[in-house]
């Protein structure tokens, strides 16, 4: 779509929230917006959740950016845009789901034991987020190896394939 709109004044990009703390999720966790942090007792990932207003503020920041065309065709998380543009969620925080997950995931990835189901799920999600990014090819290959993925189709492999990156 970004290509189709390149000659117009419209910028097409993808925007995603992290762990969205919607009304449905609050209900699922048995909490309200007033006591939502209690949900993290059930799932620690919920501590890095964000309100729908956070992604709304990302939309507003993008709309106000006179250089937004530079982002055409890209995919962005609200949390990354919050860091770039300086907006916060309604409680004044800047929750970042993936940074929170990576902090918990890294020790398991560095270990030699089998990954827990939680770690496998999030390592696979991380892989999916970055496997086509040249600047993350080494990390993607390491994730694929740690997950035991040896026979991925061409479009699912990290940039440069599953072989180790050549040394420069």
Q: Which pLDDT belongs to residue 53?
A: 97
Instruction: Quote the pLDDT of residue 11.
Output: 92
Distance of CA 167 to the CA centre of its chain: 29
The band of 136, judged by pLDDT with boundaries at 50, 70 and 90, is confident
Lowest mean pLDDT segment, chosen from 81-95, 104-118, 148-162: 148-162
Q: Are 101 and 24 in contact (CB under 8 A)?
A: no
Tens of pLDDT, residue by residue over 18-66, are 999 999 999 999 999 999 999 999 999 999 999 999 999 999 999 999 9
pLDDT score at 83: 96
Q: Does residue 164 surpass a pLDDT of 80?
A: no
Domain ranges of the chain: 14-85, 98-156
Q: What is the pLDDT of residue 62?
A: 97
Question: Span 126-139, mean pLDDT?
Answer: 86
Distance CA 31, CA 48 (A): 15
Q: Is the distance from CB of 47 to CB of 74 less than 8 angstroms?
A: no
Instruction: State how far the Cα of 115 lies from the Cα of 99, in Å rounded to an integer.
Output: 19
In angstroms, rounded to a whole number, what is the distance separating the alpha carbons of residues 147 and 136?
16
Q: Measuring CA to CA, how many Å separate 6 from each of 42, 62, 158? A: 45, 17, 28
Q: Return mean pLDDT, the chain.
A: 91
CA dist list (Å): 42 to 33, 46, 97, 98, 153: 16, 8, 16, 18, 37
Whole-angstrom distance, CA of residue 39 vs CA of residue 29: 6
Tell me which residue has tokens 């982002």: 71
On whether the pTM is more than 0.95, the answer is no
pLDDT at 167 over 80: no
| Residue 163 pLDDT > 80 | no
Show Cβ contacts of residue 156 under 8 Å, excluding neighbours closer than 6 positions.
Answer: 131
- The predicted structure's pLDDT at residue 151: 85
Q: Of 167 and 12, which is predicted with more confidence?
A: 12
Minimum mean pLDDT range among 91-95, 106-110, 133-137: 133-137
**DSSP per-residue letters across 90-152:** TTS----HHHHHHHHHHHHHHSSSPPPHHHHHHHHHHHHHHTT-GGGHHHHHHHHHHHT----
């Amino acid at each position: 779509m970004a290509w189709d709109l390149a000659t117009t004044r419209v910028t097409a990009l993808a925007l995603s929230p992290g762990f969205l703390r919607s009304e449905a999720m609050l209900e699922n966790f048995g909490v309200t917006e007033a006591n939502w942090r209690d949900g993290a007792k059930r799932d620690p990932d919920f501590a890095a959740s964000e309100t729908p207003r956070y992604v709304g503020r990302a939309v507003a920041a993008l709309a106000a950016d006179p250089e937004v065309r530079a982002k055409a065709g890209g995919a962005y998380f609200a949390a990354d845009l919050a860091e770039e543009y300086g907006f916060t969620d309604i409680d004044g925080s800047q929750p970042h789901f993936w940074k929170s997950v990576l902090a918990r995931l890294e020790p398991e990835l560095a270990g030699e034991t089998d990954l827990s189901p939680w770690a496998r799920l999030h390592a696979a999600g991380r892989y999916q987020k970055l496997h086509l990014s040249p600047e993350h090819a080494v990390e993607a290959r390491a994730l694929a190896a740690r997950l035991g993925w040896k026979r991925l189709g061409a479009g699912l492999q990290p940039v440069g394939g599953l072989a180790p990156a050549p040394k420069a």
